[in-house]
Amino acid sequence: MEPHPASDPLTASRLGPSVAARAAARRGLYVHVPFCAVRCSYCDFSSGALSAAAVERYLAAMALETARRAPDARGAVFTSVFFGGGTPSALSARHFTRLAALVRGAFAIADDAEITLEANPESVRAPLLEAWATAGVNRLSMGAQSFDAEELEGLGRIHDAARPGEAFALARAHGFRRLSLDLMFGFPGNDGGRLARTLDRALALDPEHLSAYCYIPEPGTPLGDRVLRRDVALPSTDAQADEYAMLTARLEAAGFAGYETSNFARAGAEARHNLVYWLRRDHMALGPSAHGLWNGVRFGNHYAFERWAASLEADASCDATEIESARSRADEIVMLGLRLGCGLDASDHPATRWADVLRRYGAAFEQGLALGRLEPARDGVRIPRAHRFVADDTIAWLMAAADRPSRGPLGDVVRGRTDLTPARSAP
Amino acid sequence: MSDPRLRLIRNFSIVAHIDHGKSTLADRLLEITHTLPPQQMKAQVLDDMDLEREKGITIKSHAIAMEYTAKSGDHYQLNLIDTPGHVDFTYEVSRSLAACEGAVLVVDASQGIEAQTLSNYLLAREQGLTVVGAINKVDLQVARPDDAALEIEHVTKIPAEHVLRISAKTGLGVEDLLEQIIAEIPPPSGDPDAPLRALIFDSKFDQYRGVVALVRVVDGRIAPGDAIRFLSTGKIYEVTEVGRLRLKLDPLPALTAGQVGYVVAGVKSVGEARVGDTIAAAVAHDLVPLPGFREVKPMVFSGLYPIESDQYESLKEALGKLVLNDASLIYEPETSVALGFGFRCGFLGLLHMEIVQERLRREYQIELIATTPSVEFKVLLESGELKVVDNPSQMPPAQTIAVIEEPYVLAHVLTPGEYLGNIMKLCQDRRGIFVGLEYLEEKRARVGYRLPLAEIVLDFYDRLKSVSRGYASLDYEYDGDREGDMVKLDILLNGETVDALSTIVHRDKAYTWGADLCAKLKELIPKQMFQVAIQAAIGSKIIARETQGAMRKNVTAKCYGGDITRKRKLLEKQKEGKRRMKQIGTVEVPQEAFLAVLKVER
Ligand SMILES: Nc1nc2c(ncn2[C@@H]2O[C@H](COP(=O)(O)OP(=O)(O)OP(=O)(O)O)[C@@H](O)[C@H]2O)c(=O)[nH]1
Ligand code: SF4
Ligand SMILES: [Mg+2]
């Protein structure tokens, strides 16, 4: 098998996200809800046990954080909001309504904003759906991970394989038009056959959007530690790559475009909020472990709920910040933009920033194109479709090439043959 | 007869096979003579280069002046020169010996006489030096001092019972050895009143002083203010400083006949104060220069290229500085299609090459790619033209060549008898021509072969050690050129010849070489974005192939707000790895791959 067949530019150009979707993703707001009913075996997100007292403390701290951050965002209109976690769907209707009110009270949300909430299938019930809809939530991202009972158990999920279907039906009945499913592959016990069956069940639910993540063993999680201790075996990288190829082909055949490494959408259903990250647009962030990028500063809130809440209560700093440089900005634009199906596009960035990118990466892009690591895109470059599962190699390669300040007359990419150049100059 | 004024001077070198304890013995002598304050003492204190300390071997000779009141009550000036034991640095030993009247031949009691024990002994005898034997490491459980003594007697004719048994580690017997040195090694025999003649036996470069010539004053006297002349160049300088060698330079009012010390005379380039030259008074004429040294010939050649092409200038500067202290290193610019601009360098051997590379990396922060080491071939073309080729990619096309000659060495292996069979087989496999066999005493044999240098520079020593469980030792010297049926073996990566990986091998071995080299390269070239075809070819004929499959996975599954900084750091790390690779066509080739030829097991 030739591992990397030449990619098909026609299909690639349809991968999106569309110009309209990219333009609409102007400014995002992320809200982290750090509670889960039960901890899954693979998860390293900031999340803890749910209790009324904890939620009260969370909401109080959230009031402090919104008050602290709101002045920075005065005048800014957010085109997307994302309630992530943790499990936002684990909050009661009353608690969620209070959280949403806090956010809306402090920040200006566009009327047509995309407002997403991460929901676990087992928690999707009518009263909650009503509360979410009332708060303006118009998109649900449902963590299914798998439709295989054995796999669900291994992952420590508390819902069964039928539950996502029921949740979908209920959500549709409540008028939710934009539903997304999260799937996982390449974890211990998973294989191509099981993934194929999971995909069948997922597609049968007719979601507008799908995310499919290759499992990463995280140290400190029960499953991750077992993998790292080699108590359980991870599928080989070849198997994972085969699974990725298979799922991409299946989803594309079903009418989904792989618009980002791990994300697939029907036309117009791209996750606007996530585009904010990949296009490096400003985003505000609230809650423990939430990360934002605002006015040239990246900030990351304290990871642990306790520390985050305590620092807000003590009127102390609740985050770590890093001021961007022209260079870190260019590096991020490249590393994030090349995840997209459409690749890097000049029109996605202010002219001066794009000029920075070209200054640093222009020669590297040329070399990448010459080597077939990149292919030309609309007004920029992208990773050929067949290389998407090895994209980091090219990104690191570009960064290394960009670091090389000067090139000798022979260049660093030497094509052609060794017809002996006069090797020894006269002594 | 020695001038009575020189009666209390002794100049001697410590020589031995590698690791027999020369530098440790020097430590004890420095202690007994109170040359260094106790707080400055440490093990092998004379090994002052970082690399020497790390590798635990001596690379350069180190001279140091000591004073000692003997049991007789006489107060002596002693000059000790500690020498390296590795075969690559034999020339350091012969230069050091030229400054001395005697040599202490140290033999490890657990190893007995080894190849460099013998070769260094012969060097000392050739130069007419008095040899004092010492059996070292007698504190070791496995020491066999009586056997060692018999071997020494056999080789040097020094009666076994006359050889002192010492432990350089504990100090046992070292003071007696010092007394013996004084008693047996003659004082220098120069004439302090004759016109000045001093031999430059080494030189180094000092940032502030310029060239510091290490000299042995043979006749006369030299002092600051003197006008001196270097006989080979005829150039005249004024002496600004003379002195003796301690750990640092220690100025004296003058140096006189018989003494070893240093001379500073505002010389800017080492080329003007060449090792082996004679220093005389500027006004002198009709002086006979002292016998100098045979010029050292580099044996192994390799191209050195900076990984980052913009470091070319820094590399050039760094090499320029290294040769100031290492006259045996030679270099000249060359270019490679694969690697860009670099330098062809000549080394005394692989250890020397490794040391130079390591120094460039550490002292000058230059990451290098070294191309496949090669020896120097003489190529006679059909046209009658003679070409010297030390870079395989420069080998003319086969059809234009009439004859290729390759360098040979005369090699001697010293071994316990039981490994003789293995060793002779190894030599034969390496195209060796048997020269002779003798026994030093009943258990220890010395076998001689003429061997193509190309067959031994790369891995012969390691193989020798492994077929003899570490007991055999090797010594060799250049022995002329002989015709050989050599072919150029090219390596192609994804169809493109990589000039830096070409080698010149004997036709009979080309096929196995090609296959082994491809297999080794497959191990060294990591999986990457594209599949890599690794081929070996002679001319246009492919003789071996391996395929390195493409990398299948290298991607971050999730990349949202909080993952971005983390991912950037991960990519920075990957990037650093990439920066140490050389892009050749579609293939990224790591540094180590260029030395694959050294790692092929034969
Ligand atoms: N037990 C014991 N070990 C010793 C003695 N003398 C030296 N050694 C050890 O032998 C090793 C080599 O000693 P060196 O003094 O560096 O030997 P060398 O001859 O200077 O080595 P090169 O300069 O590399 O040729 C070191 O580990 C010493 O500690 C001794 O008398 N007894
Ligand atoms: S995967 Fe989701 S539900 Fe499971 S522990 Fe992590 S945040 Fe909670
Ligand atoms: Mg030593």
Instruction: Give me the domains of chain A, ranges plus CATH numbers.
Output: 12-278 (3.80.30.20), 326-414 (1.10.10)
Residue-wise pLDDT for A195-212, tens only, equals: 999 999 999 999 999 999
DSSP B182-224: HHHSPPP---TTSPPEEEEEEEEEETTTEEEEEEEEEESEE-T
**pLDDT given at position A12:** 47
> What confidence category does residue B296 fall into, taking pLDDT thresholds of 50, 70 and 90?
confident
CA A217 to ligand 2 center in whole angstroms:
14
Q: Which residues are within 8 A (CB) of B180 and not within 5 positions of it... i.e. 6 or more apart?
A: B132, B164
List of E strands, B393-464: 401-416, 433-441, 444-452
Asked if residue A417 has pLDDT above 80, the reply is: no
Cα–Cα distance measured from residue B534 to residue B514, given in angstroms and rounded to the nearest whole number: 10
Query: 534-593 in B: which are within 8 Å (CB) of A?
Result: 549-562, 564-565, 567-568, 570-572, 574-579, 583-586, 588
B550 vs A4, A298, A336: nearest CB: A4
Cβ atoms B167, B173 nearer than 8 A: yes
The whole-number average pLDDT for the span B566-584 is 91
**pLDDT given at position A409:** 33
Of the residues B315, B339, B496, B554, the best mutation for testing chain A's interface (the one with the most A CB atoms within 10 Å of its CB) is: B554
CA B41 to chain centre: 26
Cα–Cα distance measured from residue A179 to residue A142, given in angstroms and rounded to the nearest whole number: 7
B197-206 sheet: strands from edge to edge: B236-238, B227-230, B278-281, B197-206, B210-219, B260-264, B241-245, B249-252
Residue A370 distance to chain B (closest CA, Å) = 9
Cα–Cα distance measured from residue B67 to residue B83, given in angstroms and rounded to the nearest whole number: 20
State the Rg of chain B over Cα: 27
> What confidence category does residue A422 fall into, taking pLDDT thresholds of 50, 70 and 90?
very low
The whole-number average pLDDT for the span B136-158 is 95
CA B23 to ligand 3 center in whole angstroms:
4
**Pairwise CB contact (< 8 Å): B553 & A335:** no
Asked if residue A7 has pLDDT above 60, the reply is: no
Which atom of ligand 2 sits closest to the CA of residue A85? 7
Asked if residue A255 has pLDDT above 50, the reply is: yes
Q: Which residues are within 8 A (CB) of B234 and not within 5 positions of it... i.e. 6 or more apart?
A: none
Q: Which residue of A has its CA nearest to B570?
A: A396
Q: Two tokens at B483?
A: 């015709």
Report CA-CA distances (Å) from B83 to B41, B44, B87, B170.
19, 12, 11, 21
**Pairwise CB contact (< 8 Å): A291 & B562:** yes
B553: region left, alpha or beta (phi > 0 left; psi from -120 to 50 alpha):
beta
DSSP A113-172: EEEEEEE-GGG--HHHHHHHHHTT--EEEEEEE-S-HHHHHHTT-SS-TTHHHHHHHHHH
Q: Which residue of B has its CA nearest to A322?
A: B565
> What confidence category does residue B602 fall into, taking pLDDT thresholds of 50, 70 and 90?
low
CA dihedral of residues A356, A361, A363, A364 (deg, nearest 10): 180
Of the residues B310, B532, B571, B572, the best mutation for testing chain A's interface (the one with the most A CB atoms within 10 Å of its CB) is: B571
> What confidence category does residue A405 fall into, taking pLDDT thresholds of 50, 70 and 90?
low
Of the segments A13-22, A397-406, B228-237, which one has the largest average pLDDT value?
B228-237
Residue-wise pLDDT for A308-319, tens only, equals: 999 999 999 999
**pLDDT given at position A231:** 94
**pLDDT given at position B297:** 84
The whole-number average pLDDT for the span A399-425 is 46
Peptide bond just before A17 cis, omega within 30 deg: yes
Q: Ligand 1: which of B15, B19, B144, B170 to mutate, judged by most atoms within 8 Å of the beta carbon?
A: B19
> What confidence category does residue B287 fall into, taking pLDDT thresholds of 50, 70 and 90?
confident
Cα–Cα distance measured from residue A381 to residue A9, given in angstroms and rounded to the nearest whole number: 12
CA A38 to ligand 2 center in whole angstroms:
8
Asked if residue B145 has pLDDT above 80, the reply is: yes
CA dihedral of residues B168, B172, B173, B178 (deg, nearest 10): 50
Cβ atoms A263, A271 nearer than 8 A: yes
Taking alpha carbons only, the member of B462, B454, B596 closest to residue B517 is B596
Asked if residue B40 has pLDDT above 70, the reply is: yes
Residue recorded with tokens 């493109």? B496
Of the residues B315, B341, B553, the best mutation for testing chain A's interface (the one with the most A CB atoms within 10 Å of its CB) is: B553
> What confidence category does residue A406 fall into, taking pLDDT thresholds of 50, 70 and 90?
very low
Cβ burial A162-174 (10 Å sphere, 16+ → b, else e): ebbbebbebbeee
The whole-number average pLDDT for the span B70-80 is 97
Cβ atoms B426, B99 nearer than 8 A: no
Task: Answer whether B341 touches A (CB < 8 Å).
Answer: yes
Which atom of ligand 1 sits closest to the CA of residue B85? 25
DSSP A166-231: HHHHHHHHTT--EEEEEEEESSTT--HHHHHHHHHHHHHT--SEEEEEE--PPTTSHHHHHHHTTS
A410 vs B340, B574, B586: nearest CB: B340
Q: Two tokens at A152?
A: 């669900």
Cα–Cα distance measured from residue A373 to residue A365, given in angstroms and rounded to the nearest whole number: 9
The SS3 of residue B118 is helix
Q: Taking the CB of residue B134, how many other CB atoms lie within 10 A of it? A: 28
**pLDDT given at position A423:** 30
B562 vs A289, A335, A394: nearest CB: A289
Cα–Cα distance measured from residue A9 to residue B358, given in angstroms and rounded to the nearest whole number: 48
Partners of residue B309 in chain A, C-beta under 8 Å = 404, 406-408, 410, 412
The whole-number average pLDDT for the span A371-389 is 95
| CA end-to-end distance (rounded Å), chain A | 51
Residue-wise pLDDT for A100-120, tens only, equals: 999 999 999 999 999 999 999
CA B586 to chain centre: 38
| Ligand approaching nearest to the C-alpha of A182 | 2
The whole-number average pLDDT for the span A264-285 is 97
**Pairwise CB contact (< 8 Å): A300 & B393:** no
Using CA positions, which residue lies closest to atom 10 of ligand 1?
Answer: B21
Cβ atoms A43, A86 nearer than 8 A: no
Asked if residue A421 has pLDDT above 50, the reply is: no
Asked if residue A339 has pLDDT above 90, the reply is: yes
**DSSP β-bridge partners for residue B408:** B452
Residue-wise pLDDT for B515-571, tens only, equals: 999 999 999 999 999 999 999 999 999 999 999 999 999 999 999 998 998 999 999
What is the predicted ipTM?
0.88
The SS3 of residue B523 is helix
Share of chain B above pLDDT 90, in %: 83
**Pairwise CB contact (< 8 Å): B571 & A335:** yes
**Pairwise CB contact (< 8 Å): B585 & A261:** no
| Ligand approaching nearest to the C-alpha of B86 | 1
**pLDDT given at position A419:** 27
Query: Across chain A, what does the average pLDDT equal?
Result: 90
Cβ burial B319-355 (10 Å sphere, 16+ → b, else e): beebbbbbbbbbbeebbbbbbbbbbbbbbbbbbbbbb
State the Rg of chain A over Cα: 23
Exposure of A115 by Cβ count < 10 A (0-12 exposed, 13-18 middle, 19+ buried)? buried
Taking alpha carbons only, the member of B489, B490, B494 closest to residue B585 is B494
CA B24 to ligand 1 center in whole angstroms:
5
Which atom of ligand 1 sits closest to the CA of residue B20? 19
Task: Answer whether B529 touches A (CB < 8 Å).
Answer: yes
The structure's pTM equals 0.79
B173 lines ligand 1 (CB under 6 A): no
A285 vs B394, B531, B561: nearest CB: B561
Cβ burial B78-90 (10 Å sphere, 16+ → b, else e): bbbbbbbbbbbbb
Report CA-CA distances (Å) from B536 to A103, B504, B516, B522.
67, 12, 10, 12
User: How long is chain A?
Assistant: 427
Peptide bond just before A416 cis, omega within 30 deg: no
Using CA positions, which residue lies closest to atom 2 of ligand 2?
Answer: A86
Residue-wise pLDDT for B174-189, tens only, equals: 999 999 999 999 999 9
Cα–Cα distance measured from residue B435 to residue B479, given in angstroms and rounded to the nearest whole number: 12
Using CA positions, which residue lies closest to atom 32 of ligand 1?
Answer: B137
Task: Answer whether B496 touches A (CB < 8 Å).
Answer: yes
Q: Which residue of A has its CA nearest to B563?
A: A291
